[in-house]
Structure 1
Amino acid sequence: MNKTININLANTFFHIDEDAYNKLQRYLEAIRRSLANSQGKDEIIADIEARIAELFSEKMQHERQVITFKEVDEVISTMGQPEDYLVDEEIFDDAPKQKTYTQATKSKKLYRDIDDKYISGVSSGLGHYLGIDAVWVRLLWILLAFASGGTFIFVYLLFWILVPEAATTAQKLSMKGQPVNISNIEKKIKESFDDVAERVKKVDYDKVKSNSKSFFDSLGEIILLLLKVFGKFIGIILLIIASTVLLSLFISLFTAGTIDILDTGHGWQNYVNIATDIPIWVMSILLFFAIGVPFFFLFYLGLKILVTNLKSIGNVAKFSLLGLWILSIIGLIVLGIKTATDRAYNGYTSEKNELYTTPADTLTIIMNKDEYYDNVFYGNDLEVVVDENDNKKIYSEKIHFNLKKSTDSIPYLKIDKRAKGNSYEDAKQNARAIEYNYSSTQNLLKFDNYLLTDIENKFKDQQIDIDIYIPANQVIYLDETTKYNLGYRTENDKGYYRTNMVNHYWKMGEDSVLKCLDCEDENDPDSEDNTNTNENDPEETNRINIGENGIDINVKNEEGNEFKMKIDEDGVKIKTK
C-alpha cells in the first residue's frame, strides 16, 4: 500500500504517489540548481512547472487518477535533464547516465500569436501552423472576405473566439513546433530578457531624467504616429480595392474564354463578336492588361506600406508589365478608332407601297409575333438567332411606325431601312442587306416586330422606320401588340402617350391629328365622370333626350346594370356598365 499526496502544480491539482512525488521534487530541485545563475530563473521554473502540469493532464484519464512513478519518468524523459543532472548521482540513482532529449520534433498546435499581431494574432498563429509568412495569410483573409461577400469575416471572428492565445513559453514553443523541454524554455525566456534589455539600452535616460522634452516634440511624435496609422489604413484600403479588381479580372478573363464555346446567344459578348472584327478573347486580354497592370502596382504599393522589408519585384518585371500595359492601351485605342469609323456615316434605302383599303373599312394594325419570340429578350436592340437553314442572323426589334394623313385618297406606306457604315455607300449597302417583311389586306396591316441581317454584315445600328399615310376620315384600330412600336411623331387629340393609344379606335383628321372615337371625353358634360345626374333618382337615370346635339339614352335597372348610348354628328357611342 502506497501513500498518495495532493499537490498544486501550476494551479492544477493532482493526486500523486509518494515515491513519484519525491522523484519529481528532486527533479525540480536539480533544475533550480542548474538555473541558479540564470537570468529569469523564476519565469523559467514557472514555465517548466506549467509544462509538466500539462503533460500530467494529458496522461490522466479521470480526475481521481493517481500520478505514479511511470508517469514521472515519462515526463522527465520528455522534458530532458538539467545541466547538473549527470553529476548528482546520489539524488538520481535510478537516472540514465547520459543527457537525454526525446521528442526532438514536436507537432505544432494552433494558437494566436499575440506577439506579432495586427488585430488578434489569428493570421500570425495560422502562419506558424501552416509554415508560411503571416502577411500571406492576412492577404488571403482579405481576398476571401471580399470573394465571399463578407462571410469569412465571421469565420475570422470564430477563430478569434475559439483559438487560444499563446500566453506561456510552452504554448509559444508548441505554436512553432519546437520541443517543449528545459533547454528550449530556458532559451526562449532568455531571448525575451535579451529583447527587453536591448530596448532598455535604447532609452535616452538623459531626456527622461531632465524631463526637458518640449510640448512641440511630443505633439510631433503624436502626429507622426497618427500619420503612420493612417498610412497603414491607406495600405489596407489599397490592398482591398486592388485585390477585388484583380480577382474580378481573373474571373472575367476565364469566363470570356468560354463564351464562344457556350454560345448562349444573349448579352454583351454577342455585341463584341458582331460589332468588331477582333476575337473576344483578344479583347479580353487587352482589357485584362490595360486595367490589371495599374491595379497590380496598387496592390504592390499596399504591400510596401504594410510590410517595411518587402523585397522588390525587380526592374525586369516592372518594365515588362509597363510594356504590356502600353501595348494594351495602344491596341484598345486602335480598336476604338476602327469601331468608331465603321459607324461614321448614316445611310438608308426607302420603298413606297400602296395599301388596298377603303375609308369605309376599319384598318387594324398589328405587330406580328415572330418565330424567334421565345428565344430572345423582348425589346432587345441586339440578339443572335439561327434561322430555319441554320444560318446565324443578327436580330433587332428596332421597328417604329407613325401614322400621317395622306395627300390624296389612296393610303400607302413608306418603309425606310437605316444603317451605319464607314462611308455613305457602305452605310447604304448595310441598309439594303436588312431583311424585313409585312403583309396587307383590305382591313388588316401586319408588320414584323423584328428585322434580320446576315451576321457577316456586323451590327451597324440597323433599324426600320415606317410611315403609314392614311386618308382623312379613315378609321384605324391599334392592336395591343403595337404598344412599343408606335412612334413619337403620331399626334392625337387626347394627348395620349403612345403606349396609351392602343386598344382604341381612331379617325384620321384633316389636320393629320388622330381623333379618338371610343375614349372618355374629360370635357363632355354627359360623360360618366362629369355628369350631374343623380344616380339615386330613377327619373334622372332612366331618360331619353332628343335635342340639337343628337340623341342621348341612359337606362339603369335595379341591379345596377347601366346602358348609355349617344348619337351625334361624330357617330354612335355606346357604353354598358
Structure 2
Amino acid sequence: MNKTVNINLAGIFFHIDEDAYLKLQHYLEAIKRSFTNSQGQSEIIEDIEARISELFNERVQNNKQVIRIKEVDEVISIMGQPEDYLVDDEIFEDEPQSSYKKKSTTSKKLFRDTDNSYISGVSSGLAHYFGIDAIWVRLAWILLIFGAGTGFLLYILLWILVPEAKTTAEKIMMTGEPVNISNIEKKIKDGFENVTDVAKNVGESIGAAAKNVSESVSNAAKNVNVKKQSNSIKSSSKTFFDTVGDVIMFFFKIFAKFIGVLLIIIGSFALIALAVSLLSLGVADIIHIPGLDLVDIANTGNTPMWLISLLAFFAIGVPFFFLFYLGLKTLINNLKSIGKIAKFTLLGLWLISIIGLVIVGIRQASEHAFEEHFIEKTEFPITFNDTLNIKMIGNDNFNLGFHRRHNDFKLAHNENGNKVIYSSDINVIVKSTTDSIATIVIKKSADGRDYDTAIERAKNINYNFQLKNNTLILNSYLTTNPENKFSDQEVNVILYIPIHTILYFNSTTKSYLYHSRRNDNIVTNRNTNHYLKILDNDIECLDCPDGDFKIKVNTNGVKINEDGIDINDGENSLKINEDGIRVKSDEVKVNIDSNGIKIETVK
C-alpha cells in the first residue's frame, strides 16, 4: 500500500503515487540541471512541464484516478531522457542530425501560425500542415476569393474553427516534429535568437541613421532595407487583422455560449422526458399496470414493452446526452472529458439499440406482410318490386357513433363482460343482380405474418346483421378477441340487390357508403334518405326534387355522370369529381384539390 501525493503540474491538479512522484521529481530535476547554463531555461522548463501535464491528462480517466509509475515511464519514454541530448548552445549551430540520437516521426496537427502571419495565421498554418511555402497558400486564397467567391467564407470559418498554436508544444506539433525535450529547447532558443537578431538589426539601423544623417535623400533611399519595410508592413497588417479577429471572435464566443445554453436545455429536457416516459412505460409493462392494453394490442410482434422502451431510451437518449455534453463543453472551457471508455460504451449501447429497434421494426412489419379474406354469404327473401330499408346500429357498450374510421381500433368490454377489440372500419357496397332474390356477402379481411395467420385472424372477426320486416339492420362495428392483436381488421358488406327492387338508406349509413361509384358499386353517400330503384348496374332516384336531373354520357373515352367527368384518349386525361381536378399529359401532371394546386413534369 503506497501513499499518494497531490501535485500541481502546469496549473493542473493530479493525484500521484509516492514512488511515481519521486521518479517524476528526479526526472524534472535532471532536466533542470541539463539546462542550468542554457538561455531561456525557465521557459524551457515551463513548456516541458506543460507537455508532461498534457500527457498525464490524456492517461487519466477521471479526477480521482492516481498516476502510477507505469504512466510516468510512458511519459518519460515520449519526452526522452535529459542525457540523451546535447543541450549546450553549440548544438543549434551543428547539422540537424547531431541533435538527436534517433529521429522519431509524428503526425502533424493543424494550427494557425500567428508568428508568421499577415492576417490570422491560417495560410501559414496550412503551409506547415501540407509542407509547402505559405506564399502558394496565400495565392490560392486570392484565387478563391476573387474567382469562385466562396474563399472568404471558408477563410473566416477556418479562422474561427482552427485553434492558434500558442504553446511551444503546439508549435512543434504544427510542424510534425515529436514533442520532446530537445525540440522544446530548440524552439525556445530559436525564439531567443530571433529576438537577438531583431535587436541587432535595430541597433545597426540606428547606427547607420546617425552616421548618414547628413547624406542626401537620394542616398538614404538607396540604402532602404526592403526586408525591414516588408516586416513593418507585415506588423501593421497583423495588428489590424488581429483587432478585427478579436472583434469577430468576441461575437462568435457570445453566439457559441448561446448555442451551448440552447444545447443544454434541449438535451436535458429530452433526457428527462425520455426517462420519465419510456422507462415508466417499461416499468408499467413489467408490473402490468392497467391502461396499457392498447399498447400491447398494437404490439403485434409480441416484443416486451420494457425491452422496446430500453432500446428507444438509448437510441434517442445517447445523441441527446452528447448534445448536452457539447453544450457544457461550449460553456466550460476546461471541462474534463468523460473518457474514452465512457464514450465507446455509449457508442456501443447506441449501436446495439439501433440494431435492436430495426429488428423489432422488421418483426412488427412482418406481422402485416400478408392480407387474407374470409367470406360469408347469406340469401334473404327480398325480390324485385320489394322495398328494402337499410340502417346501421351501434352498441352502447362501445359508445360508437355512426362514423366510419379506417384503421381505428379500441378496447372495451362487451355485453358479456369480455374484453374485445372493436373497430368501425365497415364499408357498405351495393351491386345490382339479375337473380330473383337478394344476397348479402360479408367479406372479412385481416393481416398476418403468413397466409394461415392472416386468414385465421379474418375468421375470428365477429360481425352481425339481421333482417326484420324488410329492414336490414347492419352493425356499425366489428369485434375480435385481443389475442388476435390489431391486424388491420376490416369488413366489407356487399349487397347484391335484384333489379327493380326499391332501396332506402337512412342517414346512419352515410359514413359507411363510398364517396363515388367504383368497382360496380351503384350507391354513394349522396344517395341516402332517398328511395332508389335498382336498374341494371345503375339506380334511379324516385323522390329526388324536380330540379335535379342526371346527365349520363358513356362513349369511347368520355364518361359524364353524377360522379363527375372522365375524359381519356389514351395519352391525355382529364378527371373532375368531388376530389378535385386531375389533368395528365405526356409532359405534365396537374392536381387541383382542397390542398391547393400541384404541378409536376413527367420525365
TM-score, normalization: structure 1? Answer: 0.49
* Structure whose CA Rg is larger: 1
TM-score, length of structure 2 as denominator length: 0.47
